Amino acid sequence: MRPGKPTWTLMLLAGLACACAPENGQSSCPATDPVFSLPADEAPHVSYMEWWYYTGHLWTQDERRFGFEVSFFQVAHQAVATYMAHFAISDAQNLQHHYDQRLGTAPGIFPRFDLSLEDWTMNGNGSVDRLSASMDTFGIELDLTSTKPPAIHNHRGLITMGGGMDSHYYSKTRMNVTGILTIDGTPETVNGMAWSDHQWGDFEIFASDGWDWFSIQLNDMTEIMIFMLHFKDDGPRLTGATFMDSEGCQHDIEEIQIESRSTWESPVTHALYPLGWDLNIPELDIVLSITPVFEAQEIDSRETTLNVYWEGETLVSGTRAGNPVEGLGYTELAGYGMWGP
């Protein structure tokens, strides 16, 4: 990381709700009130915008670590659906980022959560999700199994997107991963952990100026999601933040303080991204440092989703209630470069 002074500091607010495990140790969380039903709503919807996102961390048998992203996007207009997909690998050992993208159309939406673009596939049966994608250097064949209930963000599963429109939103915050990572034609058995996001609704992405999104998986078996939308009229605001405790009970976070430590300019797109963050969540007594594994984890997706964005694997360390914690995460930064048609 290049040294530098903090580039921005934000105090951000959202609604507070708490779902906590009882003192007897039984996992019994107060019910959320989602506006959708799972697993039925894992399937595509008749809505303008929808995406399924998987990020995670894979270890080979000799303990090399790789970050991965696989995402499918659906844009539906009348009877025609356009599909896009991105696949990326972050090679932590060699500090290299590899990605590819696909684009296609269909006469209608896929009837089930069983998506495909050429030989890239993503599907699930309510208990196991499967991902398959390949590019010149890397390929994956992965099975993912969630170990916790889905996080229903903002209690009902709705967050504000651009133009004041809402998006349905839930996450699978900790998924066990097994499968094959192919490296330069050689298949490697891997295991790991992953995170899944699913959003959909009749919202317009480019009605905002982008967003900052963080997923964090800590070694005390807790997870954090933070979503900060960049509003065109008054800048970044927290529109969703969720803490998932080790029992699988979720807490909707009221306030965060976050400060970036440096910036990085892409040599390809010349987008200027804030990188490296200090995060404080006062109500949970959490203080964390979030550091990219390396800087150059940008995806130039102008050929498919009409934008460029930074989607990178991160290292996390700090304290929770005064106790040391560490973990891994992913961060997405959208709107810092080309953004929209």
The string of pLDDT tens digits covering residues 107-131 is 778 989 999 999 999 999 999 999 9
Lowest mean pLDDT among 32-36, 217-221, 240-244: 32-36
Q: Which amino acid, one-letter code, is at 239?
A: T
Check residue 327 and give its pLDDT.
98
Residues in the chain: 341
Look at residues 66, 61, 119 and name the one whose alpha carbon lies nearest to residue 88.
66
pLDDT band at 15 (very low <50, low <70, confident <90, very high): very low
Q: What is the mean pLDDT of residues 17-42?
A: 70
Q: Which amino acid is at 262?
A: S
Global pTM reads: 0.90
For residues 156 and 119, is the Cβ–Cβ distance under 8 A? Answer: no
- On average, the pLDDT of the chain sits at 91
β pairing state of 96-106 and 114-117: unpaired
Question: CA angle 73-75-80, nearest 5°?
Answer: 130
Q: Which residue, chain included where needed, has tokens 């078996």?
A: 221
- Alpha-carbon torsion angle 118, 123, 129, 130, nearest 10: -20
Identity of the residue numbered 86: H
Question: How much is the pLDDT for 31?
Answer: 80
Q: Quote the CA–CA distance of 82 and 44 in Å, as a whole number.
A: 12
Q: Find the radius of gyration of the CA atoms of the chain.
A: 19
Q: Binning pLDDT at 50, 70 and 90, where does residue 27 land?
A: low
Tokens linked to 96: 């290299």
CA angle 283, 315, 65 (to 5 degrees): 140
Classify residue 282 by its DSSP letter. G
| Residue written as token pair 């900790």 | 174
Q: Say how far apart CA 119 and CA 226 lie, in whole Å.
A: 32
Alpha carbon of 271 to those of 4, 40, 67, 246, 334: distances in Å? Answer: 17, 39, 22, 37, 10
DSSP 92: T
Q: List the end-to-end C-alpha distance of the chain, in Å, as a whole number.
A: 32
CB-count exposure of residue 191 (10 Å: 0-12, 13-18, 19+)? middle
Question: Average pLDDT, stretch 162-185?
Answer: 95
Q: What is the mean pLDDT of residues 203-225?
A: 96
Cα separations (Å) of 253 from 68, 161, 249, 304? 27, 18, 13, 34
CB neighbour class for 120 (10 Å; exposed up to 12, middle 13-18, buried from 19): buried
Structure token digits, residue 53: 């996102």
Residues 260-282 have pLDDT tens digits of 999 999 999 999 999 999 999 99
What percent of the chain stands above pLDDT 90?
Answer: 84
pLDDT of residue 331: 98
Cα 15 to Cα 164, 212, 249: the distances in Å are: 17, 18, 17
Q: What is the CATH number of domain 9-20+45-339?
A: 2.40.370.10
